[in-house]
Amino acid sequence: MRPLTYVIPKVLLPIAGKPLLERTMLYLKSYGITEFVVCVAYLKRQIMDAFRDGSDLGVKIEYAEADAPLGTGGQLKTSERFIQDTFLAMNGDIVTSLNIQALLETHRRLGGVGTLALKRYEVKMPYGFITTDDLGSITKFEEKPTLSYMANAGVYILEPEVFANIPPGKASSLETEVFPHLISNGRRMNSYFEEAEWADVGSMTDFERVNDEVLSKYLERVG
């Protein structure tokens, strides 16, 4: 998202006129979630000044601060002192219509340390896909097939015990360290999938596309 994010944090970038983080909180508020812990580091003062205690949005916001970015695991660890019960964690740079209530109900039904929302992702392979046998004979040939798989959607229901598996004060990743560690140690982690809208606002191309899509839907409703 550079050069925009040199001067403004990604969560304050406007999506159809509203900051991304505001849209996220209002979306979660529609499911009755009114207490938020926002993990901040890079350009954190801008975020804290923009939303303060959350009263303008009818919610309560606490801030878990770090002096430098700590990755998804390290940043989540900074929120530990605010969490006493089952909680929802969500990446700050996604836009989705995922049914949060259904995600929570799935977690309550299945138990375990966490439930991860999934999205279906498709990518067209740039080259032909060839399968061979042990003798080198080609057994299958597909020219530039489309690969479809289930991907992490960046929305989780987690239990507080997850914090014990995140090292304090250092950068770490939920996706490459914490979750694989929990699974390899036999801790139950569930999946939840539905055909929902989902977008990662991680590049200028994605930002422009999501902005246009959200704006178009708004204009359809009011026009």
pLDDT in tens, 49-81: 999 999 999 999 999 999 999 999 999 999 999
d(CA 35, CA 197): 24
pLDDT tens for each residue of 130-184: 889 898 899 988 888 888 889 999 999 999 999 999 999 899 999 999 999 999 9
Class of residue 123 by CB neighbours under 10 A (exposed 0-12, middle 13-18, buried 19+): exposed
Residue 188: closest CA among 168, 159, 155: 159
Q: What is the mean pLDDT of residues 95-99?
A: 91
What pTM was computed for the model? 0.84
Average pLDDT, the chain: 88
CB 170 within 8 A of CB 67: no
d(CA 149, CA 145): 13
Residue 192 φ/ψ, nearest 5 degrees = -135, 130
Residue 11: closest CA among 40, 53, 34, 37: 40
Q: Which of 4-8, 118-122, 135-139 has the lowest mean pLDDT?
A: 4-8
What is the span of the domain harbouring residue 157? 4-222
What is the domain-level CATH number for residue 98? 3.90.550.10
pLDDT score of 192 more than 90 = yes
For residue 221, how many other CB atoms are within 10 A of its CB? 6
The domain tally of the chain equals: 1
147: three-class secondary structure by DSSP: strand
Q: Which of 74-83, 182-191, 214-223 has the lowest mean pLDDT?
A: 214-223
pLDDT score of 123 more than 90 = no
pLDDT of residue 222: 36
d(CA 181, CA 41): 25
Amino acid at 217: K
Amino acid at 35: E
pLDDT of residue 2: 58
